[in-house]
Structure 1
Amino acid sequence: MRQFNHIDVVTIGESMVLFQPVLEGPLHYSPLFVKSVAGAESNVAIGLTRLGKKVRWISRLGCDPFGDFILSTLAGEGIDVSCVIRDPEAPTAIYFKEFKGYGDPTVYYYRKYSAASKFSENDIQSEWFANARHLHVTGITPALGEKTASFVKKVMEKAKENGLTVSFDPNLRRKLWGEEEARRVLLSLIPFCDIFLPGLEEAQFLIGERSIAEYGTQFLQMGPKLVVMKRGQHGSIGFYRDQTVEVPAFHVDRIIDTVGAGDAFAAGLLSILLNEDDPLNEKVLEDGLPTALKQANLLGALATQFKGDWEGLPSSHEVERYMRGEQAVTR
């Protein structure tokens, strides 16, 4: 068995090669594209690594140039990719973003029958959790294939058995599966996490119209120790036991690309909580959750200021400066 150094976070999911048009407008008129890497879990991994955490990213990639590109990009960010599975019979997924100059970008996925869609419980290895503290998963992976929902559930169970805490971002992707199945599967996974990270739209999708306080109460009753509601321009709210912590958003003048903002938020939150040996201890949450939410809000806001899912994510030094309200010296 391979020996690993200390790992703060393990995250598991699909990353794709992203093609973004150089100019805004309909894709069918775009002659030039920029190639990058995109995927919710790898976005979180990069965000955490830049904030000083050690991260292991696990996925399945095709034995193709796109898989090579993803692997080298993430390894270049300092992420442990030693547990990634290469599949000679299935391709690495790709997707395209379309920017029309208004609203959120439209995305077009080409990930059906991809290597990551073949994830099953047979892939799970004990070394995935070796010397690790925390697991982060999203609701995207369960939507990818026939066996991926049961795979994610088993991964969460195995992580808990190995003493890891678990965070779960539902990250609803309606283009990947039907609403009834999505609701059933996502709700079934909530009891296996310690930290649940829904956005307002996702909360409404899962349990219907409620007040913000009711969302916090009902999700806590499902099993998590901490529920954090992402509210975009209205900031975020954390719920634990009978406590509520609300932190306002960071103001930005213009939103360029919202894709990846929730992943940046998760990285900002987890990086603060995991500074503590027992991140979900009530005293730790009382002292640290306001700062964690503030940093999460900051990273979520910064992620909307550039095209691409992760390229503009800040370093820990930059975050400290932003948190103090300092301006950078550029000349």
Structure 2
Amino acid sequence: MTVLTFGETMALTRAADTGALAHTSTLHLGIGGAETNFAIALRRLGVDVAWVGRVGQDSLGDLVERELRAEGITADVIRDPDAPTGLMVKERRTATATRVWYYRTGSAGSRLTMSDIADDRLESASLLHVTGITPALSDSARKTTLYCVERARALGIPVSFDLNYRRALWSPEEAGPVFRELIALSDIVFAGEDEAAIAVGDGDPAELVARVRDLGPRESILKLGDQGCLAVVDGETFSLPAVPVNVVDSVGAGDGFVAGYIADRLAGESPGDRLRTAVTVGAFACTVSGDWEGMPRRDELGLLTTAEPVTR
């Protein structure tokens, strides 16, 4: 079984230490993007994943392609000679506050088109995963997202949708109608509280998860950060607390959560077990700097709860 996802992956620079970037002399260079964070986490859990996206004909594009292939992702990388690879800059201003800036206007990733997604790649997928970031990038990226979701639905391929709202890309008023359209076309929907409210209006977690479900998906999952998660799956409600960890960097935790849930869903696990794996993978992502570097492998999932600090 192969999961298909697509979107923009950027080069990522982050400070080596806590503090203002204005006083930082050393930066680490890596990659980041919601869809590839998800793909890497899923692959480490033993699921085959294909990712499609555009990068520039530049060294940062080389970096993106190399890292994805090194992680075992089947990467359909389109090299765009007329646009650069996007850039993300991350600052850990304090021990608990992270700020991120994006330099992606006119980037290669924003130029995604329907022709970039091969028919056989979509038709052979066991599940399609999309996020709310891609349709916010450009008109062509939005059309590509809607086309692929509608095509997957027509083929009977399950669709997973993570709202993943980015206020730097569009307003809540712009995002809301697109979110509702994609929710109605999806089988599994993930959202944070604020993201769900953009689509269905303000409310408490129980109201939000129910309203999302009422738009059509069989599985509605609300990510509640350090409060865990709340889900309605086939009409049954599930709630699970978060796994407590010392948080180093929470960026990527939501992508890891989604990957954990999807991996266990594909394995035929119960909703409760899916959510347990989801909160565990999300917690792992918080334990190191970087968007995806902390994602665990299947045989590491028990490490956060073990009483033995050294495994021999």
Q: Same fold by TM-score, threshold 0.5 exceeded?
A: yes
How far apart, in 2, do the equivalents of 1:323 and 1:188 lie? 38
1:308 pairs with 2:290 = yes
The equivalent of 1:54 in structure 2 is: 48
Q: Verify the 8 A CA contact 2:52 2:116 in the aligned structure 1.
A: no
The 5 A counterparts of 1:104-253 are 104-252=97-245
Q: Verify the 8 A CA contact 1:129 1:162 in the aligned structure 2.
A: no
Deviating more after overlay: 187-196 vs 100-109: 100-109
The equivalent of 2:308 in structure 1 is: 327
Q: Deviations over 1:46-87 (max 9, x none)?
A: 001111110001111111111111101110011101x22111
The equivalent of 1:272 in structure 2 is: 264
Q: 1:12 aligns with which of 6, 17, 29?
A: 6
Letter paired with 1:36: G
Q: Verify the 8 A CA contact 1:133 1:163 in the aligned structure 2.
A: no
Over 4 Å off, 4+ runs = none
Secondary structure of 2:74's counterpart equals coil
Q: Deviations over 1:91-113 (max 9, x none)?
A: 11011001112443111101110
1:127 Cα deviation from its structure 2 partner: 2.2
Give the paired residue count. Answer: 312
How far apart, in 2, do the equivalents of 1:50 and 1:63 lie? 28
1:205 Cα deviation from its structure 2 partner: 2.7
The equivalent of 2:38 in structure 1 is: 44
The equivalent of 1:35 in structure 2 is: 29
The equivalent of 1:280 in structure 2 is: none
1:29 Cα deviation from its structure 2 partner: 1.6
Q: Deviations over 1:5-53 (max 9, x none)?
A: x42x111111001001112211122111100110000001100111111
How far apart, in 1, do the equivalents of 2:194 and 2:159 lie? 22
1:93 pairs with 2:75 = no
How far apart, in 2, do the equivalents of 1:121 and 1:40 lie? 20
The equivalent of 2:280 in structure 1 is: 298
Q: Verify the 8 A CA contact 2:249 2:287 in the aligned structure 1.
A: yes
1:187 Cα deviation from its structure 2 partner: 1.8
How far apart, in 2, do the equivalents of 1:162 and 1:89 lie? 34
How far apart, in 2, do the equivalents of 1:103 and 1:213 lie? 28
The equivalent of 1:71 in structure 2 is: 65
> Structure 2 length normalisation: TM-score?
0.95
RMSD across aligned positions (CA): 1.6
How far apart, in 1, do the equivalents of 2:68 and 2:307 lie? 30
Deviating more after overlay: 200-209 vs 152-161: 200-209
Letter paired with 1:208: G
Change in Cα spacing, 1:317 to 1:326, as seen in structure 2 (3 Å) is farther
1:325 Cα deviation from its structure 2 partner: 3.7
How far apart, in 2, do the equivalents of 1:291 and 1:247 lie? 10
How far apart, in 2, do the equivalents of 1:43 and 1:208 lie? 28
Q: Verify the 8 A CA contact 1:62 1:88 in the aligned structure 2.
A: yes
Deviating more after overlay: 72-81 vs 101-110: 101-110
Q: Verify the 8 A CA contact 1:104 1:258 in the aligned structure 2.
A: no
Letter paired with 1:217: A
Q: Verify the 8 A CA contact 1:153 1:192 in the aligned structure 2.
A: no
Instruction: Percent identity, please.
Output: 38
Secondary structure of 2:50's counterpart equals strand
Letter paired with 1:289: P
How far apart, in 2, do the equivalents of 1:59 and 1:326 lie? 42
